[in-house]
């Protein structure tokens, strides 16, 4: 799964990387502790025009009467996304990319103590996502979820799930700009695509902030 991440790339650089037109209300960067329900950077496309926009991290199905009406849907499983009522239409029609610098995952010891790890690639990671516009009268929110899949061999040492990470050559296909076949992209990244290291347990708090959150520490 993916329940917390960092984004440090400046907005202008993000827009240039994805060849996307930036909106005017994007979240501030850097943010070393992006949490569920935060507004995050998302790349979407109508087939001709890519946009870098802000969305709520936490998908809102059409039957939710309020944003807190049901479970917090921050991830969508690749194996079932096409069948789940919450995600199946978005999977066909509203796929997006969620840029991150790296993401966090946790392991536990025998006493249940949670130890955070920071996972990153050589460059900005493009996570596969799905989104929809949730509208209730005057309340309208664009909300998204990160698509996850079974972990590759390297990541399985930390967690059994991982985000679907898209190489640049696959961005157009995932965004619906290059025809059909996006389902083939929902797979684990190669083992060598990611590295990870232990970080301080202060990131266990969703109020923690600052670049020290991603600094490596010696594992206990």
pLDDT-above-70 percentage for the chain = 98
185 within domain boundaries: yes
Task: Classify residue 188 by burial, with Cβ atoms within 10 Å: 0-12, 13-18, 19+.
Answer: buried
Q: What is the pLDDT of residue 111?
A: 87
220, part of any domain = no
Q: pLDDT digits over 51-80, tens only?
A: 999 999 999 999 999 999 999 999 999 999
Please check whether residue 77 lies inside any domain of the structure: yes
Q: Residue 219 above 90 pLDDT?
A: no
Active-site option among 96, 105, 142, 144: 105
Is 105 one of the catalytic residues?
Answer: yes
Specify the number of domains making up the chain.
1
- How many CA atoms within 13 Å lie on the side-chain side of 124? 20
The pLDDT-based confidence of 114 (bands split at 50, 70, 90) is: very high
Residue 129 falls within a domain, yes or no? yes
Share the mean pLDDT of the chain: 95
218 is catalytic: no
The answer to whether residue 144 sits within a structural domain is yes
Name the active-site residue from 2, 91, 96, 144. 2
Tell me the percentage of the chain whose pLDDT exceeds 90: 91
Residue 18 lies in a domain: yes
- Is there a domain that residue 117 lies in? yes
- Model pTM above 0.85: yes
Domain that holds residue 11: 5-214
Domain assignment present for 33: yes
Q: Give residue 220's pLDDT band: very low, low, confident or very high (50, 70, 90).
A: low
- Mean pLDDT to the nearest integer, 136-161: 93
* CATH (domain of 81): 3.90.1680.10
Rounded CA separation 66/161 (Å): 29
């Amino acid at each position: 799964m993916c329940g917390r991440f960092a984004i440090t790339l400046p907005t202008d650089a993000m827009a240039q990387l994805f060849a996307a037109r930036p909106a005017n209300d994007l979240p501030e960067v850097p943010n070393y502790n992006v949490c569920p329900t935060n507004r995050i950077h998302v790349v979407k496309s109508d087939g001709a025009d890519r946009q870098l926009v802000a969305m709520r991290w936490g998908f809102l199905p059409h039957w939710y009467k309020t944003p807190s009406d049901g479970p917090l849907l921050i991830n969508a499983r690749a194996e079932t996304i096409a069948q789940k009522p919450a995600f199946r239409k978005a999977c066909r029609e509203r796929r997006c990319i969620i840029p991150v610098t790296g993401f966090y995952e946790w392991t536990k010891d025998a006493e249940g103590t949670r130890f955070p790890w920071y996972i990153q690639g050589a460059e900005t990671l493009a996570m596969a996502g799905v989104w929809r516009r949730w509208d209730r009268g005057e309340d309208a929110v664009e909300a998204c979820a990160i698509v996850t899949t079974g972990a590759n061999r390297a990541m399985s040492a930390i967690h059994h799930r991982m985000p679907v990470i898209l190489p640049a050559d696959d961005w157009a296909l995932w965004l619906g700009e290059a025809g059909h076949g996006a389902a083939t992209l929902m797979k684990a990244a190669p083992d060598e695509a990611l590295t990870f290291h232990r970080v301080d347990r202060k990131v266990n708090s969703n109020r923690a902030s600052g670049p020290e959150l991603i600094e490596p520490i010696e594992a206990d």
